[in-house]
Structure 1
Amino acid sequence: MDIQKLETFIQLAEHLNYSKAAEETYTTQGNVSKHILALEKELTVNLFNRSKRQVTLTASGHELLPYAQEIVHQAHLMQEKAAQVKQRQQHSLTIYTIPTLINYPALEKIATFRNQHPEVNLLLKETENEPLSAIRFFDENTLFFTRLFQLPEHSFDYKIVDQDCFVAVLPADHPLAEEKELSLERLEREAFLLLGKETGLLAPILQLCQQSGFTPENNYGGSRIDLILNMIASGLGISLLMEKTILGKLPEQIVYIPIVPNKLSHLCFVRKKGPHSTANDLFWQSIE
């Protein structure tokens, strides 16, 4: 049902004058007449008695008028609520982040933004390192802090805040523990403790190992770096991990060594190209 026609009905019922009703609804007398006729046709009742001298409500018009007033009132309330929702959304920002956020400058940037813009409703949500093409939660109010081995396609904006690369993590008493750099092929016969597929790190590790002529035997497959480090310290195997995710966490009985070949990862804030909320744009501008 057309709210504009109901508003015309209400104004004509109040003033009983086409000219005044047209003035109140910012239209013409002809449009007032068209609206009333169309509404009467839709409702299949006459709302007004019309004569050359005066306009009066019919009995049906009297009975239906309160319903029209309530519908228009509720429509206005809905418009006001929609405006409030839009305003709130403009000042809301959700940042989805990989679990290793704490190891990179992104956390400091988020904290600085929060302090500078307390008016923004900022929400952090942890998620796995999915391919950008598989992510369904991108909208005008969201960003993603993620690890990329290949920078995104043209449909995404991104800002790099750090970089990282793989290292071999070994027990301190391992025969190769004193090496300054390790060729991956020298680790072919080792028992590997690798992070699972959901972390986004297994595929590039497999590619590096296969490039070096072997497929590693993986004896883990979860997402807990701390557990991998404890298993290495217990002599259960070795691992390939991102260097900055283990700094400051290594037990004394563990060492890490640069490897060749290697893959450089980019730690990025990413968002879809297109219009964004005020909060989203404020955060994007704050990233150096």
Structure 2
Amino acid sequence: MDLRQLEYFVTVAETANFTRAAERVHITQSGVSAQIKALEQELGTKLFERSGRVARLTDAGEAALRHARAALDAAADLRDAIDDVHGLVRGRLVIGMVIGCEVAPLFDAFAAFHSEHPDIELELVEANSDQLVAGVRSGDLDLALAGLAGEPPEHLASHVIASERLVALIPPDSELAGHARLSVTALSTYPIICLPVGTGIRDVLDKARAAEGVDPSVALAATSPDTVAGLARRGLGVAVLSESMAAAHADLTAVPIDGIEIPALLALVWQNRSSPALAAFLRHCRVAFFGVDQEKEGRMMAVQ
């Protein structure tokens, strides 16, 4: 067996579909099928049960998956270790970021890294925060800038960029605009506009409302903070965003929400493994987010 066969095996297991696996590894479906068949012949057992378009792991496949992943991780660590010895930075980095939110320091890190290491292929993936964290865990993403509810994810390295509270964003002519603060329960008597499920802000809001025994559903959800604010501006409900997001909409009144103890975090998240390329990118991230202009540290990017 070779590492290519193990890579294809793990990809089919993760996608449960030979066609999607082929698209991910950029070869034909017949090529993936041939390599899996060769691996099964060498191991003397079936790894997948094929039912229509779905490929399910057999018991033997389940047993093999953990070891295949470990072998691929060990090979990656070996390459990284050799690169580290020789001071090389090469290959490809896949970076994730939250949808609908321009994060200028991350773009600055991209530009600085590309200038220093032009031979490294960079890919940017946008998704909701739960998908980003899952992508880092699976190895599909090398690093992600994600919104989190209260705590960084377990078993992953992280660097918190910002920690913020949520506020209600209300048109100034609304009856709520005169309130100094709003409770979670009082807020829930009005239509709520928020980011979608899977974002850090929505997770914080849903957990707080569930703790108060309030139905966590919202009236409207949108992926862009500007859209959320725009809907509230037109009287369609009360927007719930982070403090820094609200600051971008000075024509609306931001009212603190009592009863939400969990902060919304914005954090860099990655697997704690040796990678010269990732280490170099992280250095540029630290400069971009916490660099020479220390004033930026007090007004970090909006949390999603």
Identify the TM-score tier after normalising by the shorter chain: 0.5 to 0.7
Q: Deviation digits for residues 42-87 of structure 1, max 9, x if unmatched? A: xxxxxxxxxxxxxxxxxxxxxxxxxxxxxxxxxxxxxxxxx9xx99
How is 1:1-288 mapped onto 2 (pairs within 5 angstroms)? 90-103=90-103, 105-130=105-130, 134-135=134-135, 138-139=138-139, 142-149=142-149, 150-153=151-154, 155-216=155-216, 218-248=218-248, 250=249, 252=251, 254-262=252-260, 263-276=262-275, 278-288=276-286
Relative to structure 1, the CA distance from residue 202 to residue 101 in structure 2 (aligned partners, 3 Å threshold; closer, same or farther) is: closer
Q: Output the CA distance in 2 between the equivalents of 1:284 and 1:103.
A: 15
2:283 counterpart letter in structure 1: Q
- Alpha-carbon RMSD: 3.2
Q: Report the Cα distance in structure 1 between the residues aligned to 2:267 and 2:136, rounded to whole angstroms.
A: 18
Query: Against the structure 1 CA distance between its residues 265 and 141, is the aligned structure 2 distance closer, same or farther, given a 3 Å change threshold?
Result: closer
Paired with 2:110 and 2:104, the residues of 1 have a C-alpha distance of 11
Paired with 1:205 and 1:141, the residues of 2 have a C-alpha distance of 27
Percent sequence identity over matched residues?
21
Structure number with larger C-alpha Rg: 1
Q: Decide whether aligned partners of structure 1 residues 269 and 232 sit closer, same or farther in structure 2, where only a CA change above 3 A counts.
A: same
The count of residues paired between Structure 1 and Structure 2 equals 200
8 Å CA contact 2:182–2:256 kept in 1: the answer is: yes
Distance in 2, Cα, partners of 1:287 & 1:171: 36
Q: Contact (CA 8 Å) 1:193, 1:221: kept in 2 or not?
A: yes
Q: CA deviation at 1:136?
A: 6.3
Distance 1:124 1:156 in 2: 20
Instruction: Give the TM-score normalised by the residue count of structure 1.
Output: 0.59
Question: 5+ unaligned residues in a row in structure 2: which ranges?
Answer: 1-78, 287-304
> Cα distance, 1:217 vs. partner?
5.0
Name the CA distance, whole Å, in 2 between partners of 1:138 and 1:210.
29
| TM-score normalised by structure 2 residue count | 0.56
CA contact (8 A) 1:93 1:122 kept: yes
Matched-pair contact (CA < 8 Å) for 2:165–2:263 = yes
